């Protein structure tokens, strides 16, 4: 017994250990605080929170789960990028390979796909919870605005991913979706008053989305770049803002 | 004034705080594990869909957008694409963004309460539920050529021809639509004066404008389903 204790003391007492771990784990208020504020990942939290804010019946945990699924999607998405090339001649074959050849490829793709659907659901439930608790009220008005934009970005993330398999399902879903852009008032060539700005199929807002008049190679590349790079970066930046504002606006909302 | 001061003092001293470690962090960690297990289990059991290679020459029938946009695609039955696909979603997003600036009711901040904010909760929950009802219809009840099928019916291409649609005469349409927004803006202001006074003209007009657009969207759907009305207002430039 003494030997073990000595060994522990040797391990946790030396310079290397201390350079990594800054505090002990004895259950003291000081260590509980340090556990949060001296940890780069955990210091997103305040050291102390109002008790009702830790209750699942109050928060439904939906905002946190949405963020977690975003991280889950990032990891599975990066792994999928190793096997997928956004080229119209290869994309579908890569999907088939993922489903039948790549070890755990099917599992990987399934979890990315279902995670995306789950994220849309959890983010919308999170919005419902925030509304029902009146958490958009002063001083949190602006954070609600950021949240609405993040909701839209979640939908766009999922939507841009829909085309990537380059199968009939994605192709026609994106056809239906982007055809709406044709009808944009003023800016789409079939929309009301589009003649004022001289909109044609090859210069309207749908053309800008697809990089062409039909869904072809440029549309696939655009969907890929938006999906894997642009929207995650914009969303990530807004998430930082969103979480930071939760803290700055007084932490989790609650009765005054 | 004195009472207010005293009350504020009490609030500041009230300390119901607990340590985030481990009370909160443990729950979050548990939630993360459960979500991961759930997602992985579902992914193990159910395969993500992958159809044939895309073929621009062969349209899917029905061609459906991802499920979360099917509410909007369902709205296409009742409205032209410029409204159902562009203007309506834009109004929804802008309306959501504006909520904190329109709802100035100080009560119900940070706790669940229907009693303190009946109007806000009713409106939002109605819109939320309606969005998902449309998604359900668009996902489960729309078959080939976007024809309506009950859940117990089989999707076929052999469905009865829908009844012919007609447009309302233009003057009647303008009177109806104009009357709807005018009455909808003026009547509540007269009947619920304190509601109007509290919000002020601008906030009131935006709130009611958004609310009337939501209700109007539903009414237009009823007009279509009950009276086979295609457009309330039909002009060479724009149809509503």
> What's the token pair of residue B90?
């834009």
ipTM of the complex in this document: 0.92
B15 lies in the same domain as B91: no
CB contact under 8 A, B25 and A114: no
Given this model, what pLDDT does residue B14 score?
A: 58
Between positions 21 and 50 of A, the ones with CB within 8 A of B are 29, 32-33, 35-36, 42, 45-50
Are B136 and B95 within one domain? yes
In a domain, B120, yes or no: yes
Identify all chain A residues contacting B25, using CB atoms and an 8 Å cutoff. 36, 42, 45
Q: Are B33 and B98 in a shared domain?
A: no
Assess contact for B94 and B214: CB atoms under 8 A.
no
Does a structural domain hold residue B58?
A: no
Give the best residue of A142, A147, A148, A194 to mutate against chain B (max B CB count within 10 A): A148
Between strands B17-19 and A48-50, the pairing is: antiparallel
The answer to whether B31 contacts chain A (CB < 8 Å) is yes
Give the minimum alpha-carbon distance from B184 to chain A in angstroms, rounded to a whole number.
25
pLDDT > 70: percent of chain A:
100
Residue to test with chain B: of A32, A40, A54, A143, most B Cβ within 10 A:
A54
Range of the domain at B99: 67-227
The model's pTM: 0.93
Give the mean pLDDT of A50-57.
Answer: 91
CB < 8 Å from A in window 101-130 of B: 101, 103, 105-113, 117, 120-121, 124, 128
- Count Cβ atoms within 10 A of the Cβ of residue B184 and give its class: 0-12 exposed, 13-18 middle, 19 or more buried: middle
What is residue B2's predicted lDDT score, i.e. its pLDDT? 45
Cα separation, A54 vs B150, in Å, equals 43
Q: Would residue B119 count as lying in a domain?
A: yes
Task: Give yes or no: residues B197 and B152 share one domain.
Answer: yes
Distance in Å, alpha carbon of B149 to nearest chain A alpha carbon: 20
A95 or B10: which leads in pLDDT = A95
Q: Across all residues in chain A, what is the average pLDDT?
A: 94
The confidence score (pLDDT) of residue B222 equals 94
Judgement on whether residues B95 and B206 belong to the same structural domain of the protein: yes
The verdict on B191 and B83 lying in the same domain is yes
> What domains are there in chain A, each with its CATH number?
59-248 (1.20.810.10)
DSSP B148: B
Establish if B96 touches chain A: CB-CB under 8 angstroms: yes
User: What is the rounded CA–CA span in Å between residue B136 and residue B19?
Assistant: 43
Token pair for B88 = 């309506």
Residues of chain A contacting residue B111, judged by C-beta atoms under 8 Å apart: 133-134, 254-255
Contacts of A56 in chain B (CB under 8 A): 27
Domain count, chain B: 2
**Distance between CA atoms of residues B135 and B147, nearest Å:** 15
The answer, for B238 touching chain A at a CB cutoff of 8 Å, is yes
CA distance A3 to chain B (A): 31
Same domain flag for B71 and B41: no
Same domain, B221 and B110: yes
Q: Which two tokens stand for residue A224?
A: 């890929």
Q: Are residues B179 and B90 in the same domain?
A: yes
Tokens encoding B108: 């119900």
**pLDDT tens sequence for chain B (240 residues):** 444 444 554 455 456 899 998 899 999 999 999 999 999 999 999 999 999 999 999 998 999 999 999 999 999 999 999 999 999 999 999 999 999 999 999 999 999 999 999 999 999 999 999 999 999 999 999 999 999 999 999 998 888 888 889 899 999 999 999 999 999 999 999 999 999 999 999 999 999 999 999 999 999 999 999 999 999 999 888 898
Rounded Cα–Cα distance for residues B80 and B52 (Å): 31
pLDDT in tens, B1-23: 444 444 554 455 456 899 998 89
Report the C-alpha gap between B152 and B147 in whole angstroms: 14
In a domain, B117, yes or no: yes
**Helices A231-248 and A141-163 sit at what angle, rounded to 10 degrees?**
160
Whether residue B202 lies inside any domain: the answer is: yes
Instruction: Assign residue B228 a region (left: φ > 0; alpha: ψ between -120 and 50; beta: otherwise).
Output: left
Sorted by sequence, the CB contacts under 8 Å of residue B180 that are 6+ apart come out as: B212, B216, B219
Burial of B215 (0-12, 13-18, 19+ CB in 10 A): middle
Q: Does one domain contain both B6 and B104?
A: no
CB contact under 8 A, B18 and A49: yes
pLDDT confidence of residue B9: 47
pLDDT digits (tens, 9 = 90+) for A73-87: 999 999 999 999 999
């Amino acid at each position: 017994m003494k030997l073990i204790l000595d060994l522990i003391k040797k391990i946790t007492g030396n310079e290397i250990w201390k350079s990594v771990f800054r505090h002990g784990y004895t259950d003291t208020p000081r260590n509980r605080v340090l556990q949060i504020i001296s940890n780069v990942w955990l210091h997103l939290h305040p050291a102390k929170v109002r008790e009702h804010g830790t209750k699942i019946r109050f928060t439904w945990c939906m905002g946190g789960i949405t963020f977690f699924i975003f991280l889950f999607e990032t990891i599975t998405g990066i792994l999928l990028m190793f096997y997928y090339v956004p080229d119209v001649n290869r994309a579908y074959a890569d999907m088939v390979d993922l489903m039948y050849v790549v070890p755990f490829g099917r599992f990987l793709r399934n979890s990315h796909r279902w995670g995306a659907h789950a994220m849309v659901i959890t983010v919308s439930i999170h919005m419902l919870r925030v509304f029902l608790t009146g958490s958009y009220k002063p001083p949190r008005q602006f954070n609600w605005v950021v949240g609405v934009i993040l909701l839209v970005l979640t939908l766009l993330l999922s939507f841009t991913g829909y085309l990537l398999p380059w199968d009939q399902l994605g192709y026609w879903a994106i056809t239906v979706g982007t055809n709406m852009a044709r009808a944009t008032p003023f800016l789409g060539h079939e929309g009301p008053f589009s003649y004022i700005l001289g909109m044609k199929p090859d210069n309207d807002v749908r053309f800008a989305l697809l990089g062409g008049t039909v869904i072809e190679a440029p549309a696939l590349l655009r969907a890929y770049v938006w999906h894997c790079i642009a929207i995650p970066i914009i969303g990530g930046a807004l998430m930082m803002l969103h979480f930071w504002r939760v803290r700055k606006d007084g932490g989790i909302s609650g009765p005054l | 004034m004195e009472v207010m001061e005293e009350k504020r003092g009490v609030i500041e001293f009230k300390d119901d705080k607990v340590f985030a470690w481990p009370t909160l962090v443990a729950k979050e960690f548990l939630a993360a594990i459960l979500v991961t297990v759930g997602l992985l289990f579902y992914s193990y059991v159910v395969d993500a869909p992958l159809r044939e290679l895309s073929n621009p020459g062969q349209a899917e029938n029905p061609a459906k957008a991802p499920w979360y946009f099917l509410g909007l695609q369902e709205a296409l039955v009742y409205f032209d694409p410029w409204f159902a696909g562009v203007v309506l979603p834009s109004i929804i997003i802008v309306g959501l963004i504006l909520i904190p600036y329109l709802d100035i009711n100080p009560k119900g901040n940070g706790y669940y309460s229907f009693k303190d904010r009946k109007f806000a909760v009713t409106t939002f929950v109605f819109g939320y539920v309606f969005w998902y009802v449309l998604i359900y219809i668009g996902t489960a009840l729309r078959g080939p050529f976007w024809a309506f099928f009950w859940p117990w019916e089989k999707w076929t291409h052999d469905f009865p021809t829908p009844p012919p649609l007609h447009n309302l005469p233009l003057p009647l349409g303008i009177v109806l639509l104009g009357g709807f927004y005018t009455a909808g803006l003026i009547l509540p202001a007269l009947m619920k004066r304190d509601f109007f006074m509290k919000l002020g003209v601008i906030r009131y007009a935006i709130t009611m404008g958004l609310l009337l657009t939501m209700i109007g969207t539903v009414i237009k759907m009823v007009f279509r389903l009950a009276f086979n009305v295609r457009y309330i207002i039909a002009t060479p430039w724009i149809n509503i």
